[in-house]
Structure 1
Amino acid sequence: MNASPRKSTQADSPPESYEQAVVELERLVQQLESGQMSLDDMLKSYQRGSTLLRYCREKLESVEQQIQILDGAELKPYASDRSAGN
């Protein structure tokens, strides 16, 4: 529970990147699943997790829109090396 002060300063700050948000989300899930948090800390972690999840979803939607623009608004199916015949 020593991380509580750090969490309170992070709670309102947006993540620096999608990758950082995912790492923080994974850490929050581990802490929540450990069962070693107070109820107040669990609520704060849940709220932070919701914020991070929303950020990640918005970031993915933004990237998808950019890809659609680059591909002429037509998403193409992903072709791995194996399915491409290599």
Structure 2
Amino acid sequence: MPKAAAPKALAEPASYEAALQELEQLIGQIESGQLPLEQMLTGYQRAAQLLGYCRSQLDAVQEQVKVLDEGMLAPWSQE
């Protein structure tokens, strides 16, 4: 019995902004309720991938941001 082919990886976005724009478009399509079930599932999977990409980009930037705290550079925190 042949194995089912694994779904091919979707292309990584060119930038954070491009990922965010594509994510917003996908959310609009999914929320419209006009997509067939299979396309909705594919859109949901792509949206999850884009969300993960955006989070990783934000985490990387947050690691680079430093604030001056009592004369010493310290990692930035929201607190």
The TM-score by the shorter chain falls in which range? 0.7 to 0.9
Unaligned runs of 5+ in 1: 1-8, 78-86
1:1-86 map, 5 Å: 12-68=10-66, 72-75=73-76
Kept in 1, the 8 Å contact 2:29–2:35? The answer is: yes
Length-normalised TM-score, structure 1: 0.69
The percentage of counterpart residues that share the same residue type is 45
RMSD value, Cα: 2.2
Which has more helix, going by share of residues? 1
How many equivalent residue pairs? 67
Length-normalised TM-score, structure 2: 0.75
SS at match of 1:73: strand
Kept in 1, the 8 Å contact 2:63–2:75? The answer is: no
Unaligned runs of 5+ in 2: 1-7
User: Comparing both chains, which one has the higher relative contact order based on Cα–Cα distances under 8 Å and sequence gaps of 6 or more?
Assistant: 1
Displacement of 1:76: 7.0
Displacement of 1:37: 0.3
Which has more strand, going by share of residues? 2
